[in-house]
Each structure stands twice: as structure tokens, then as C-alpha cells.
Chain A
Amino acid sequence: MHISVTVDGTAYQADVEPRTLLVHWLREGIGKVGTVVGCDTSNCGSCTVLLDGRSVKSCSVLAVQADGSSVTTIQGLSDGNEWHPVQTAFKECHGLQCGYCTPGMVMSTVDLLSENPNPTEAEIREGLEGNLCRCTGYHNIVKSVALAADLMGGSTK
């Protein structure tokens, strides 16, 4: 089936099999390998991207379902060489260990802060409940999100 999808600001046209998962098309179809797959059960959230501005698990969406939509992956967050504040905050607070969950954590954080620029610690933890960190580095991830909120103009309660 033919699809037109804008990914990280670039318009793509492609022919895909209906069974192609969005994450597979992103990785194998157009080389967006920053988005990773961590499970087969829709649990881990490492594949999280923004679909028309909202966080989704790209392993749980068909590429054909993204037809006509706009996708933002971790590779589309920075502005040239200028990192997105959420990326900066994860680096500053050591919000990653092995880094596998990080693309998903960062994208979920971008979504969380767009809806709630001023999250409490509890709201941060709830807001990231769809993302698992196998290294269990949650403490610094929560700190990173709080710093990101500050950097972006909100101030965490």
C-alpha cells in the first residue's frame, strides 16, 4: 500500500506491506535507527515516537496507519547542532546508563511536558509509566525530567 508520511520534517512516499510495523518502516525503510525495539508486548516504550504530536508506541501502530500523518523520532528533536532541552537535561542529570530506553524516555518526556509543563515528581513518575528502564535508572530519569521542565520554562513543584 502507498503511504505519505512526514518524518522529522521530511516528506516521504513509500510502498509498504500492510503488516509492516511503523517502527520497522522507520528503522529499515528510512534509516531512523534511533528508535529501537525492546519487547514484543507493547510494554517497554523504547519505540516511542510522536505521531501528530502525541506519544505512541511505534511497535503498536502499522505504518499504513501513519499515512497522512507527521512523525517525530528522537532523530528529529535537535535543532541542527542545538540539542532539545530534554536531551540536555538527560545528559546533565545522567538520566541514562546503557541508553537503550533513552530514545523512548526522551520522547515520552517531550509529550509529558507539552501537556503538563509543571509536573510534580508523582506526575513525572505516572507520566513515564509506559516506559521501562532495564538498568532501573529511574531516579536520575525523574531528575532529568524535572530539569527539562525548568530549562523549558516550567518549574517543577
Chain B
Amino acid sequence: MIPVAFDYVRPSTVDEAVAALVAGGEDAKVMVGGQSLMPVLRLRLGAPSLIVDCSRIDEMIGIREEGDSIVIGAGTTHHAVMNNDLVKRYVTLLAQATATVADPQIRHRGTMGGSLAHADPAGDLPAVAAALDATFTIAGPGGRRTVAASDFFVDYFTTAVGDDEVLASVSFPKREGWGSHYEKFNRTAQAWAIVGVAAAVRMEGGRIAEARIGLTNVGTTPIRARSVEAALVGAADAAAIAAASESAADGTAPTTDIHADAEYRSHLTRVLTKRAVQKAAGM
């Protein structure tokens, strides 16, 4: 279908984008990759009066090292993120999870910031941002502010980014030498996660010294499996990881839909956590 008519602006700075959003009011909408928004417009599930295209704002594109962090412009495409050497080395889990997002064409247009701002519970990147304690830089009429991952994801498709704000960049602490793996369970290629588990572990002398685990699609927001993270400390073999993963579904609130019921999602959460951590730890 053809979208409902809208006005279109293509600002070249973040400040211009914010000004356009303020002027456009409630019906203005940011578009970057458009890979989530275009289907919505085409199916007329949404009809914004103004599209603010932020895909050509230099400041929002690119990946750089800043002290102990890797800072990624929100408008950097999935394709650029997963192939970037800094990301592969210091934020390996993000590169791994991004490679499972959608398909090549969508990864050429879709952006990391778009996935995070869209906050689809089935999206793969929110769990990674939660597990790695990413920090979000949001620009609005009052200037810039930073928000921790634990405060960024508010609800189903809802984040800390306000209607007149733009997600400018996301910063990930460097974690070199960690083992990591994103375990995604889906029915077919190109499909969304029924459940996904993002795991990163720091090993010391053959044992897990620290673990970070984020869960995809078992609640309205990504969930940290904190009890598993604590139980994994000291684990030195596959059996210990399996035992620690038993509590992975605690504190989750999975839904029932056409793909899986809640009980099955809980089962998957335990099994996939075990697999993800075993692969991350190489056990």
C-alpha cells in the first residue's frame, strides 16, 4: 500500500532535527533506516504528518573509541556495526547479535539506534544493551542527557526517548577478551526471536569470574538474568553452567502468542541461557 501523505525534512545536524520535531509537534516522527517504520506507514498502522529523516546527520553515524568506551552513532547501520573492527574486538556480543538481525538488505538500511529506540520486545539489540550496561545519549530541546540501559527501556515499544528527542549515540564499555554468544531461537531465517539470550563472560583460570546475561522477548523490556549471573561465578564446567541456568526464567513475564506459549518460552529461556553461556565460556 501507499503511505498516507506526510511532509518530509532531512536535517543535517542533531539540533536541526530536534527543532523540526519541536515544530512538528506530536505527529512528527523520526525516521533513520526506516526498516521498522516503512512497513508501519505502508500498512497505514501509523500516519505521522511529518517525517524527520535523520539518516544523513554525520554526527549520528560512525564508531569511535573514547577512553574506556566504544561510542556508536545511533544512525550507524547494522551492516557497519557488525563488520567494524572496534566493535568485533571490544563489544563482540553486539557484533554477534547484530549479525542475526533480519537479512542483508535490512541490515544495509536499518540502524542500531533505530532498533534500540523502537524497543520491540522481540528485537535482538535491547538485550545486548542491557547485558553490557550501555549508556544512551539523548538530545532534546533542553540539550543532551545520558540515560543508563536500566532506565532506557520503559515498556513495550517505549523508551526514555521523548517525542521531541533524538537518540544520538550509544556508548558501550570496552570489554576485551570476554567470551560471548547470542543464542537466538526462531522458526525460519529472517524471523524474529521467539526467545533470545545474550551472554558475555569473563574467565579467570578456567572459571567464570563475571557473567552478564540479557534476555530477549520474555517481558515487555529486555531482562537481566541477575540470579544466573550471580550463580555462574566460579563455574568451571558445562554442568555447573547448566545448574546455574535453571533459574533463568525467574522474574521474567513471557507472553503467549502464535509462535509459543508462555510456559514454552520459560523452558526456552533456561535451555538457551545454558547454551549461550556454554558457548560464551567455550565449555
Contacts and interface: CB of A to CB of B under 8 A. Distances in A.
B230 interface: no
Most chain A CB within 10 A, of B51, B102, B105, is at: B105
A42 B39 contact: yes
A55 B38 contact: no
Interface string B172-203: 00000000000000000110000000000000
Contacts of B42: 21, 40, 59
Nearest to B33: A60
Given A19-B6, A54-B108, A130 B38 contact: no
Interface of A: 1, 17-21, 24, 40-43, 45, 48, 51, 54-57, 59-62, 64-65, 108, 111-112, 125-127, 129-131
Contacts of A129: 103-104, 189-190
A74 to B, nearest CB: 15
Interface in B104-158: 104-106, 108-109
Interface residues of B, number: 29
Contacts of B79: 54
B246 to A, nearest CB: 33
Contacts of B43: 40-41
B5 interface: yes
Most chain B CB within 10 A, of A1, A61, A112, is at: A61
14 contacts: A18-B8, A19-B6, A21-B2, A21-B3, A21-B42, A43-B190, A55-B104, A57-B106, A59-B38, A60-B35, A60-B106, A62-B34, A127-B104, A130-B105
Contact of A40 (B1, B51, B105, B190): B1
Given A45-B105, A59-B38, A64-B53, 18 more contacts: A17-B5, A19-B5, A19-B41, A21-B42, A40-B42, A42-B106, A51-B108, A55-B105, A60-B39, A60-B105, A62-B8, A64-B8, A65-B55, A108-B105, A129-B103, A129-B104, A129-B190, A130-B103
Contacts, number: 86
A22 B104 CA distance: 18
Nearest to A67: B10
Contact of B109 (A24, A43, A56, A108): A56
B35 A130 contact: no
Given A60-B38, A65-B53, A112 B3 contact: no
B104 A1 contact: no
B249 to A, nearest CB: 29
A27 to B, nearest CB: 13
